[in-house]
Structures are given as structure tokens and as C-alpha cells.
Amino acid sequence: MSQIWLIVPAAGQGRRMGADKPKQYLTLADEQPVLAHTLARLHRAFPSARLVLCLDADDRWFLPHWVPFNDWQRVEGGSERMDSVLNALHAMAANDDDVVLVHDVARPCITVNDLLALYQAAATHSAGALLAMPVADTMKRADDQCQSARTEPREGLWHALTPQGFRYALLRRALETARQQQTLVTDEASAVEALGECPQLVTGRRDN
């Protein structure tokens, strides 16, 4: 059985939120930060996984006791998500066939069932898999004056969620290719798609 690896990009500075700290360190009702909740949920599904946590070099909020994994390492995050994930991939002592799941730190509501379903799909589908939700809202196309120009058909459209999971070799090749071609990708699946692969969509929950 291949090793399960988890990459959690958590180097964001939360500037868009205007908070006094990054969103992953905002506390929830139990006074624990979002980051701690996210890692706890991942650990519940994959207690034996190996975690790579991407943090900003100047992060002054992180506390190691929030990490429930026995086998984990910290790597420096990059300026973009893709850079953080690539830093993690380069730091990992992974085999080509190991399954790597990448999960947003700001998604603490992910369920164990969804995590297990995503892993199963990623482990069995050669192009990997991602959690996603079919688009249920009416989609509008704006003109250059931010006016609704037309309604777009939503059939076949999905909201991409995380985790997204791929074999180590495929994910590394996809992201390294995107970097070499100076293509800015906003998720791992888009980099894999650029190689001509078609990751499996696994229906997730709207509250993810």
C-alpha cells in the first residue's frame, strides 16, 4: 500500500480579510484556531499519514502543539499557492506512486467521509481526483461595465473544492511544468488538466 501524504498550504497572510492575523489563526467557538481544526479533521481520517505544512517564513502565530500528526514537517511557503505546494513536494521523501492530498487550511469543515471518498478515488484513478460540487446557482456573464450581459448554462459546471489528490510523480510533473511555462494555476487539478489529464470529480458537501 502506498504512503498517504497530506500537504496543507498555510502561508497566506489574510490581507483580503482585513483581519489582524491570517484567517487560519482566527479562532472558532472553542477558542481553537481554524488551522488546528483542519489538521484535527485530517488526522481523524488519516492518522498514519505524513503531513507537510507550508507556513510563511515570518509566521509568528503558529504553535506546534496544534499538529496531531506524529510524522510531519514544516516547509516555507511561497508567494503563490503553487509555489508552496511545489516546495512541499520537493521536501518530501515520497515514492512516485504515493498518493498526495492537498487541502486548504481554511476548510475546517471537511468531513471524514468526504476525505476517505476522495482518497479512494485518487488512489484508483490514474489522473487523480478532487472534491467538487455541481453548480446550483444561476451563472451570469458580466460585460466590461459590470452589467449582466447574459445567463450562462450551468450544466456540467462544478465548484472545485479540496482536498485534491494525485500520485506524487504526476502532481510534481504538472506543477513543475506550469512553473516552467509561467502558467499561474489556482489549484492542482488545473495543472494536471494542462497535461491533458482528466481528474475524477468526487461530489463533496456544500459546507466544505
**CATH for 48:** 3.90.550.10
Number of domains in the chain: 1
- Is 35 a member of any domain? yes
Pairwise CA distance, residues 200 & 121, whole Å: 7
- The amino acid that residue 117 corresponds to is A
Contact between 163 and 96 under an 8 Å Cβ cutoff? The reply is: no
Q: Is residue 26 part of a domain?
A: yes
Can you give the pLDDT at residue 19?
A: 62
Spatial contact of 75 and 10, defined as CB atoms under 8 Å apart: no
Q: Is residue 108 part of a domain?
A: yes
Local confidence pLDDT in tens for the 208 residues of the chain:
679 999 999 987 655 555 678 899 998 878 899 999 999 999 999 999 999 999 999 999 999 999 999 999 999 999 899 999 999 999 999 999 999 999 999 999 999 999 999 999 999 999 999 999 999 999 999 999 999 999 999 999 999 999 999 999 999 999 999 999 999 899 999 999 999 999 999 999 988 7
100-155 pLDDT, tens digit per residue, is 999 999 999 999 999 999 999 999 999 999 999 999 999 999 999 999 999 999 99
Position 17 scores a pLDDT of 52
- Which domain range does residue 41 map to? 4-203
Task: Note whether 103 and 24 are within 8 A (CB).
Answer: no
Q: Has residue 208 been placed in a domain?
A: no
